[in-house]
Amino acid sequence: MAFLTLKNVSKVFGNTTAVEDFNLEVEKGEFVSFLGPSGCGKTTTLRMIAGFELPTSGIITLDGEDITYKSPNQRNVGMVFQSYALFPNLTIGQNIGFGLQVRKMPKEEMEKRIDEMLSIVHLEAHKNKYPHQLSGGQQQRIALARALAINPRVLLLDEPLSALDAKIRVELRLEIRRIQQEMGITTIYVTHDQEEALLISDRIVVMSQGLIEQVGTPDKIYNYPSNEFVAQFVGQLNLLPITDVDLENGKCLLAGQEVRFEHTPGRIISESPRLAIRPEELQIGTGEGRNALKGRVESALFLGAVVRLRVDIGGVFLSADFFNERSRTLPHSGDEVVISFPEYSCWVM
Amino acid sequence: MKRGSFWSWLWVIIGTLYFLLPLISTFDFSLRAKKGELSFLAYTRVFTDPNFWATMRFSLLIALFTIFLSIVLIAPTAYWIRLRLPKLRGIVEFISMLPYVIPAIVWVFGAIRTFSGTPFFLTNTLFGTYVLLTTGYVVLSLPFVYRSIDVGLAAIDVKSLTEAAQSLGAGWGTILFKVIFPNLKVAILSSSFLTLAIVIGEYTIASFLVGIKAYGPYMSMIGQNKTYESSSLAIISFLLTWAFMGVIQLLTRGKTSGSSMAGAR
Ligand SMILES: Nc1ncnc2c1ncn2[C@@H]1O[C@H](COP(=O)(O)OP(=O)(O)O)[C@@H](O)[C@H]1O
Ligand SMILES: [Mg+2]
């Protein structure tokens, strides 16, 4: 049995179903992210693992023990909040020691543990300060240290970086991952930021409206999204209307031009089929054995490393990303271009 | 610019005079107990009056019990409402305001009627009467004690702090005494001093329940019977109240200059 399992877990608030038939198995030491738009039930699921909400139905087990109805202070689960939630009346050292004091750890051992945690988050110098004297990023590191100090069985983080500015966010997410790997701690990380989830997770659970849409490794989620929601939510995606779909031979028409695609048997095709392709799979100019579409540049955005084109293919607009090259002149709006891509890079849904 | 500052200064001066003149003349009057000279005779008489000290001690004692009872009652209640029953906050706030609109005289008649017969015989014994007096003051102080503590709670993220403490293994006792109350220190202290000031000067409830045992009725009796002493008493009470208010000011200022996060230390 997996280390942490959720079996048929549902949560209903009045007449909203926040989480519906949630099933997940998390292995020991794994880093799993819950990814989805706001209101899809990520926090509620996390709070049921923490014990702050009781499931309407279903079972949650941790390390073989049924913890579904266990009170939160008996679970030995670490929690990090978006708002840091440091105790304002206690020093940084006392904050980290809070859980240890509750556990009646001897003073000397406790001080050692506090120092150890402070060094893990690189804030040794701030032990005797108060939370309000630290920056947001520093406070969140302390909150992380406080949650980890008690050696929790699982670490739960609910959008821990949402309140921080972009630069700190980028720094801290790598640090969270580093610490998680160093300590080998099983972690559930809630976020609505797909880039964050892709970067730091072993596996991602994509959710929408209380349901799991897909569970998988970041590259699986990105390259093989199991449905339109996942494909759209994770990364950029062109969804282009097509006609005359021939699944047998993997052919269809896009604005009158033929496109070949690789069809995965069993994939559900909707009533109004569309060709799905990521902007970065596209290239300017033709190539051996590639699909080629003639069109006209509508706009060209220079983003530094990347150039983003919007191309009009006979009335269908697609967006294409290219790496910038110093020697190449940028296409201008109105230019006639050929956009090409290999058949295995696109799919029909 | 000049015009504006002239008018604002004029208003400040008028306001100050309106406030200070009666005070100054009361003080001046209180010094004239001895004919033809200024003296502190009226003050000496007050301070040597055993009734002054007895009533003051009685009222202080009742005030302390009131403070203790109302904090013990209101702090956990306000906390629980913020944590678990946020929908009730409006109703509770309304109830806590009732003492503002219900005159003390109405309360005291109601209380005497209710608690002097079956099944409650509180007014039959001295102790019962004191209990009734204390609970009356708890009701009287409810609006600002509740307000003050609720505002104190608003300054901290009650839900997250509680949950953070819970996930670290803390039970309710630890959460209340190590996390919530320390962050309400300023709110609790300032509402305590306000309660103190109000209970000591209270007249209506005290006069109906215990009469001149309490400081308020004592003050009123002196006011009716002894001209100069009443003025000196007014000044003494005024200074006392100001001292309490000063303490509150000091407490709350320390809080705001410290941090935006109610970092009571
Ligand atoms: N305590 C609650 N009472 C009522 N509805 C709630 C409560 N908590 C969450 N919900 C509802 O459950 C749904 C999921 O919320 P939540 O788990 O917070 O989503 P997320 O964290 O993904 O943004 C939302 O529709 C939200 O309004
Ligand atoms: Mg959330």
Whether A126 contacts chain B with CB within 8 A: no
A19 C-alpha to ligand 2 centroid (Å) = 12
The β-bridge partners of A347 are: A276
Which among A44, A190, A211 is the best mutation to test ligand 1's pocket, defined by most ligand atoms within 8 Å of the CB?
A44
Question: Closest ligand to A22 CA?
Answer: 1
**Residue A206 three-state SS:** strand
Model confidence band, residue B264 (pLDDT cutoffs 50, 70, 90): very low
* Assigned domain for B2 exists: no
Question: Closest ligand to A44 CA?
Answer: 1
CA A158 to ligand 1: nearest atom: 21
Q: Tell me which of A139-143, A258-262, B138-142 is least confident.
A: A258-262
Whether B265 contacts chain A with CB within 8 A: yes
State the CATH number of the domain containing residue B88.
1.10.3720.10
Model confidence band, residue B2 (pLDDT cutoffs 50, 70, 90): low
pLDDT at residue B254, rounded to an integer: 59
Digit-coded pLDDT (tens) for B55-103:
989 999 999 999 999 999 999 999 999 999 989 989 998 998 888 888 8
Of all protein residues, whose CA lies closest to atom 13 belonging to ligand 1? A18
Distance from CA of A205 to the nearest CA of B (A): 24
How many Cβ atoms from other residues are within 10 Å of residue B180's Cβ? 26
Long-range contacts (CB closer than 8 Å, 24 or more residues apart) made by B16-22:
none
* Assigned domain for B19 exists: no
pLDDT at residue B42, rounded to an integer: 83
pLDDT at residue A54, rounded to an integer: 95
Distance of CA A47 to the CA centre of its chain: 18
Inter-residue contact A155 to A186 (CB < 8 Å)? yes
What does the pLDDT average to over A142-147? 95
* Assigned domain for B187 exists: yes
> What are the backbone angles phi and psi of residue A132, rounded to the nearest 5°?
-65, -10
Share of chain A above pLDDT 90, in %: 69
In the block, tokens 């002239």 appear at B6
Give the mean pLDDT of chain A: 91
* Assigned domain for B56 exists: yes
Best residue in B153, B168, B172 for a mutation probing chain A (most A CBs within 10 Å): B168
Of all protein residues, whose CA lies closest to atom 14 belonging to ligand 1? A41
* Assigned domain for B41 exists: no
Cis? peptide before A88, omega within 30° of 0: no
Which of B146, B149, B176, B150 minimizes the C-alpha distance to B161? Answer: B176
**Residue A231 three-state SS:** helix
- Full residue range of the structural domain in which residue B151 is found: 49-264
* Assigned domain for B7 exists: no
Inter-residue contact B212 to B221 (CB < 8 Å)? yes
DSSP letters of A178-201?
A: HHHHHHT-EEEEEES-HHHHHHH-
pLDDT at residue B1, rounded to an integer: 52
Best residue in A73, A94, A103, A132 for a mutation probing chain B (most B CBs within 10 Å): A73
Residue A308 has pLDDT above 70, yes or no: yes
User: Can you point out the beta strands (E) in chain B?
Assistant: none
Tell me A331's DSSP state: P
Contacts of A103 in chain B (CB under 8 A): 169
Pair of tokens at residue A42? 């990520």
**Number of domains chain B is built from:** 1
Residue A112 has pLDDT above 90, yes or no: yes
Most confident of A267-281, A310-324, B160-174: B160-174
A37 C-alpha to ligand 1 centroid (Å) = 12
Model confidence band, residue A19 (pLDDT cutoffs 50, 70, 90): very high
Which of B239, B236, B242 minimizes the C-alpha distance to B193? Answer: B242
* Assigned domain for B3 exists: no
Which of B105, B99, B110, B101 minimizes the C-alpha distance to B139? Answer: B99
Long-range contacts (CB closer than 8 Å, 24 or more residues apart) made by A257-262:
A257/A293, A257/A294, A257/A313, A257/A314, A258/A291, A259/A291, A259/A293, A259/A343, A259/A346, A260/A291, A260/A343, A261/A343, A261/A346, A261/A347, A261/A348, A262/A343, A262/A344, A262/A346, A262/A347
Digit-coded pLDDT (tens) for B126-158:
788 888 899 999 999 999 899 999 999 999 999
* Assigned domain for B126 exists: yes
Inter-residue contact A83 to A140 (CB < 8 Å)? no
Residue B166 has pLDDT above 80, yes or no: yes
